[in-house]
Amino acid sequence: MTDAARDLRQLLEPAVAAEGFALVRVALVGGRNLTLQVMAEDPATGQLTLDQCAALSRALSPLLEAADPIPGPYRLEVSSPGIDRPLTRLGDFRRFVPHRARLELSQGIAIGGAIRKRFQGALAGVEDDQILLDAEGIGRVRLPFADIRSAKLLLTEALIAATAPLDMRGADIVVEESADGRTTTRNTGGVHQ
């Protein structure tokens, strides 16, 4: 995490918590057209609804305006982490065992005579600030949390099945699948359920 992202996280985290949410990630992206991306979740659901994103954006805007932490113009983008979310906190690596993830380290580690920075496989837990991963083609590896440059869940059928939708209000069509694999489709006409 860059110093700027760390400073922004320190500024925003208390305000996000005051709104009842948990800060997942802060990123400043773009060149001439900067975007401050704030990703948060409702601890009860692991996601944010559109209304929660809007409310959090309204709560953060005055704080950012008063603190003025970013020189020049930028756009604020508040979002939910989504299903194939980034893993940014040590607890994320515990919470999403045994789902599959892709991780990249800042510094490579020696495995089988080669230095590797990129890994993909099933999360297997956390021990002593080390991420346990059943890495494809390697087996169980221990990756230092402090050295993780990026980590993200991989979108799999198992992850989709484990992640219930937050809210289907406003959906025009709802497709449901039963345990035996049969699907039913119903047209709601966008009526709130």
User: 14 and 47: one domain?
Assistant: yes
Rounded to whole angstroms, the Cα distance separating 174 from 193 reads 11
Q: How far apart are CA 160 and CA 164, in angstroms?
A: 8
60 shares a domain with 15: yes
Residue with tokens 């099945």: 161
- Asked if residue 71 and residue 32 are part of one domain, the reply reads yes
- Look at residues 79, 112, 127 and tell me which one is the last residue of a structural domain: 79
In whole angstroms, give the CA distance from residue 103 to residue 116: 11
Number of domains within the chain: 3
Task: For 59-82, give the DSSP string.
Answer: HHHHHHHHH--SSS-EEEEEE---
Statement to judge: residues 10 and 69 lie in one domain: yes
Same domain assignment for residues 96 and 71: no
Q: How far apart are CA 153 and CA 125, in angstroms?
A: 14
Structure confidence by residue, pLDDT tens digits, 34-69: 999 999 999 988 899 999 999 999 999 999 999 999
Are 8 and 43 found together in one domain?
yes
Residue 25: both structure tokens together = 């990630």
Q: What is the pTM of this model?
A: 0.74
Is 69 found in the same domain as 22? Answer: yes
Which structural domain, as residue segments, surrounds residue 173?
163-187
> Rounded to an integer, what distance in angstroms lies between the CA atom of residue 96 and that of residue 143?
16
- Domain assignment present for 176: yes
State the CATH number of the domain containing residue 123: 2.30.30.180
Same domain, 70 and 102: no
Does 42 share its domain with 104? no
Residue 193 inside a domain? The answer is no
Q: Which pLDDT does position 175 carry in this prediction?
A: 58
- pLDDT band of 164, cuts 50, 70, 90: low
Q: pLDDT tens digits, residue range 20-39?
A: 999 999 999 888 889 999 99
Are residues 8 and 61 located together in one domain of the fold?
Answer: yes
| Element containing residue 40 per DSSP (H, E) | strand 34-41
Same domain, 7 and 74: yes
